[in-house]
Each structure stands twice: as C-alpha cells, then as structure tokens.
Amino acid sequence: MSNAKKIVEFFKKSGIDPVGSAVWDRESLNHLVFISVEINDKGKQIPSNFKLSLVEKSAEAEFGKISVVLVNRGDEDIANSIKSLLFRRYSDDVRNVFSKVQDGRVTVWIDTKGASSKDKTTEMMQTVIGLLEYFDLKLDSFVNTSELNLPSETICVSAIRQKAPVLPNDVIEELRRRGFEVPGEDWLLRILDKWRKRGLIHRKSNGTFLMTVRGLRALGSGKNRRSPDVARALDLARRAQ
Amino acid sequence: MEAIKPHFGERDAFARSAFNRYYYSAFLNIREMLGALDSSWSSLPHKSYPEVLQGQVKKKFNRARSRASRNDDTVLVDRIDTAKRALDELAKMMSTAYGIRVVADYEPNEAVDFNARPRFALRSVDISDAHDWENNTRLLCQSVENTWNEIHV
C-alpha cells in the first residue's frame, strides 16, 4: 500500500475522514491531506483544531511531513446569510463581506464602495446582530476596513513621541494626516490627561506635551526601519531644515 | 455565431486553470501585504505563507498587544485581536488555496466534479468559493495592514 493510502487509513482510524486521497506535493516535498470541517450547534468546529493537530503530529511521526488542508470552513451557511443580507439591504454601499464564526462568536469584515458614515456602519452592524440572534450567536467585532478609525490611545501618544514638544492641536493635525478621525481637542485632552496622571507624558506650562522616560519605556521601541526613534530623528531633521 | 461546446478534456483543463488563477490572485494580495509590512517578507516561498502569517507576523501583533494591554489601551487590544483573527483566516485560506492548486496542477487523474452544486468543484471546493479568495484576502489584508500601521508608527 502506498504512503498516501496509508496516511488516509491512519486518519480514518483516528476518527477523521479525509476528502479524497492524500496528495504528494512535489514543490514542498510533503503530503497534503484534505479535511472537511463543520460547525456544530454550539458554534464549535468539528473536528477541532486540537484533534486535527494531534492526529497530524502522530501521522507525521509515522509517514514524514504532512500538511492538513481544510477544504471548507464549516460556517458557510452563517457566512452566506450575513453576506446576502448585507448585499441585499445595502447594495449601494457594500463592496465585500467576510465573516468568521469561532466558539459561538462572529467577526465580520466589510469593505464599502466609498467612505461610509459611522451611522451607516452602526446600522449595518445592528442588522447583523439581529440576524445572528436567529442562529443564537453573538457578534464579536464588526470591522469596516474603509472607514476612518478613531485613533487608539497608543497612537495619540506616539504622535507626541514623534513631534514633542507639541501642542494638542498639532497632535490632532498629525493624527488626521495619518488617516484617523479625531472628534476634537476635548476628546484628545481626556486621553492625554489620563496618560499624564500615570506619569507617562508631561505637560509643560506653555501647554505643550512631551514624553517621560517612563512613557518611552511603556511604548517600547523597535529595531527596524519603522522604529519610532528613527521616525522622531527624521522628524527632528525635517524641522531643522 | 455558434458557441462551440468544449469536449470533456478541455472542460477539465479550463476548470483547473480557473482554480490555479484564483490561487495566484489570493497569493499576490497576501504577498503585497507582507511586503508592505516588512520588505524581507516579500519574497518567501509559497508554501511558507501560512506559517509566516501565523508565526512571525502574529508574534509582532502579540508583542504590541501585551504592551497595549499594559497601558490599558482597550481599543488597540480589540483591534489587534481582530487583526489576529484575520491572520488566522488568511493562513487557512492560503493553505486551502495552495492545496487545491497542487491538485489542479499535478493530479490530472483527479477529475473536476461538474455535477457539484452550485457550479463545479475540485476536492469539494466549489469554484464559487475559489472565486471569493481574491476578494476575501484583499479585505482581510486591509484589516491587518490598518492595525499594523497603528502599532508601527
């Protein structure tokens, strides 16, 4: 019996029924085993990734390198329902939808045809939440990849790191330049105040903000071309010109 | 004009070629994203993509996540978690697409199933699903890149 057949038998004996025979991948020099998965009524994948990994490792010990290929995601019914609902109801707005069910929680990514308003995104999200109730599932996150995001606290402070000493208005300008939506100065000051009280940034009497050593440690650094220290050095050089 | 019906061999070859092309469209999206994240990831062998996505790329996100968590930045923590889920999906999609491409290219004795619904399938993967690989990888790559740009500024 060939190794490909033995591998399939091995999986069957372990309670996993592969789709078709194992295939020798001459580019990567290993066997590919195709497995179909489904999602049970509790939102769990069957067979589980844990079981798949155990059987894969045992098979590898006997037959050499094996790659398990999942030929469906098991959650197509739910994913297709979400997709068709959004396409049907928001045909002028939605370009693409992708969703994933994991442990009873659903993540949805959408791409819109143009810049859509926050209200529209919230409306679409509520529509999906309504649908998921029928499946007894919860929405974990709803991501509109075309939408301008509110900046996270880390990115607000990293703008200070680059531009310090800097006024809040200049931080807002920098964040908007980076493609973020900033509601206003009060919103930003609330965040900066929180970081200032923890001693991570310092506010000078002239209203400008700068980093403390503790703040620099909290943000960390990097040894690559996108290192924040390099970004600051380049920014200082630009300002000196 | 009269449409000419392809004979069985041609029909099979056209179908295999479609799976092959959908694989490359997904592969190119991910390669472009990896190159934008780090230029050293732009020329990796095809087979290593799932490993890199779930290994090196995820490791960078994990490091940023623990830092954001230490700084109580819950918004960034949530965004990183979502980006990590996108990475898992991209890895899974690449692994499936790669496997199907290997069958399409190197297993000529395995016929394409033209009785499958809704269209035609190879190894239980319908061509409609393969058609979505390009759109879905583009969407997920965008999500990963957006979050990457937030943690590498």
**A58-91 pLDDT, tens per residue?**
999 999 999 999 887 667 788 889 999 999 999 9
pLDDT of residue B117: 80
Tokens of A62: 């006997």
Q: What is the mean pLDDT of residues A233-240?
A: 84
- CA pair distance B102, B95, nearest whole angstrom: 11
Tokens of A92: 């002028």
- Counts for chain A of helices (H) and strands (E), in that order: 9, 10
ipTM surpasses cut 0.95: no
The alpha-carbon gap from A151 to the nearest alpha carbon of chain B, in Å, equals 8
pLDDT of residue B101: 96
Percent of chain B with pLDDT over 90: 76
On chain B, the residues whose CB falls within 8 A of the CB of A23 are: 99, 102-103, 106-107
Q: What is the mean pLDDT of residues B55-59?
A: 95
Coil, strand or helix: which one is A99?
strand
On chain B, the residues whose CB falls within 8 A of the CB of A224 are: 38
- CA pair distance B27, B94, nearest whole angstrom: 7
- CA pair distance A209, A171, nearest whole angstrom: 9
A154-200 pLDDT per residue, tens:
999 999 999 989 999 999 999 999 888 898 999 999 999 999 999 99
- CA pair distance A22, B56, nearest whole angstrom: 29
Compute the Cα dihedral for A153, A156, A159, A164 and give only its sign.
negative
Name the residue in chain A with its Cα closest to that of B133.
Answer: A98
Closest residue by Cα to residue B79 from B90, B70, B89, B69: B69
| Range name among A220-229, B29-38, B66-75 with the lowest pLDDT average | A220-229
Q: Do residues A14 and A23 lie in contact, with contact meaning Cβ atoms separated by under 8 Å?
A: no
Q: What is the mean pLDDT of residues A234-241?
A: 84
Contact across the interface for A155 and B153, Cβ inside 8 Å: yes
**Per-residue pLDDT at B153 exceeds 70:** no
Residue with tokens 């993540």: A107
A21-58 pLDDT per residue, tens:
999 998 888 999 999 888 777 777 889 889 999 999 99
